[in-house]
Structure 1
Amino acid sequence: MHHIGVPLRASVAARNIVWDVIFVGRFVEKKGLIELLEAVELLAERAPLRVALIGDGPMKDEVAKKAAASRANIILLGALSPAEVAHHLAASRMLVAPSKQASDGDCEGLPTVVVEAAAAALPVVATLHSGIPEAVLDGRTGLLSPEGDVARLAANIMMLFENHNLASDLGRQGRAFVENAFDMSKQTAILETYYEDISAGASR
């Protein structure tokens, strides 16, 4: 298994929280957006969550309708550039990526934004889906729950919303994990050695 990795900045900027929860991705079934909105709604009376949804896709109208009917403060920011996404990640308390297998069998690989969030020292609340546990270590760099488990997803969101020290610790450990296992420059150098070894073997 070889992970491509993401570019890393030398340091992580101080966080000025605007959003408690941020989601980044296509508005399609496998991203678990409906489960996210249901989890946020479960917490509406307990926590004044500020939720940002970044992206677009075939479920946009359904998501917008559900967000408008929610008691939570949910803002759809649309599709944004990578620089704009990075800006909003830096202004968030946690990334939520509640991915699941879609009804047609469609699944994730490893969502790049999960690694990008960890690189920004952002704790990740996600699901035990596909490659996500390779980048989100439950209880160490983020919190994981079973696919489609809205109650557990809500509990994990609430845990980080209430416990800022825990959120900070998970984010710091997530950054360290990415530096070790998902740094694009390091991963590219390792990949190059694989090609060199194969080329050397072929020339013998």
Structure 2
Amino acid sequence: MTPVREIFAFLFLGAGKIGVTIFFSISTWFLISSEQSIKHNFRRIWLMERELLFWSLTLLIAFTLAKKSLLSPTMMLNSVFPVITSLWWYASAYASFLAILPFLQYALLAMGPKRHTQLALMLLLVFGPLSLVPYPTIFGIYITNVAGFMYLFILLSCYKLYLKQFNVKQLWILMASGLLIGVLITVLKDAVIVLMFADNTPTSW
């Protein structure tokens, strides 16, 4: 793959992950300041389960009518229990996050601003650089499930509760800087690969 294609792949294939992060951050932003209760959050999970059940059964019926050979016991089980079987990973991870959220919020508030800020800084210093490494690391394991949602909640809650909020100009600068760093990492990775295999290129006689 050429460097230009690598850059386009970075921009467009990463859009899904960016969209998930933005969507979760917006929904979580309003949960930070409100008190979370176990009963209320499990009611949210139940409402989400019912909505997902409707759509999963609708899709199951549609697929069955379109091509009956696609029907399998696993598909039927996943359609009846979409959340616990992780039919859609985001919904399952978000349901798990809602179940943990009351305890997570209580723990963060109990530790106070200093410890909360230290925790957020430590996570950012660990997972921030790892997210830039063009190789599978623990970042990919933890950040794509409920642990990733907890990670984002810790950072967002620290920012909203204790730090001075950025203005629009500063946010645009941060976004542009992140995009530039990602492109530079992609180009650097391609350059390293080219240099590594340059000596192995067969020569013509």
Common fold: TM-score over 0.5: no
**Structure number, greater radius of gyration:** 2
Query: Larger strand proportion, structure 1 or 2?
Result: 1
**TM-score where L is the length of structure 1:** 0.31
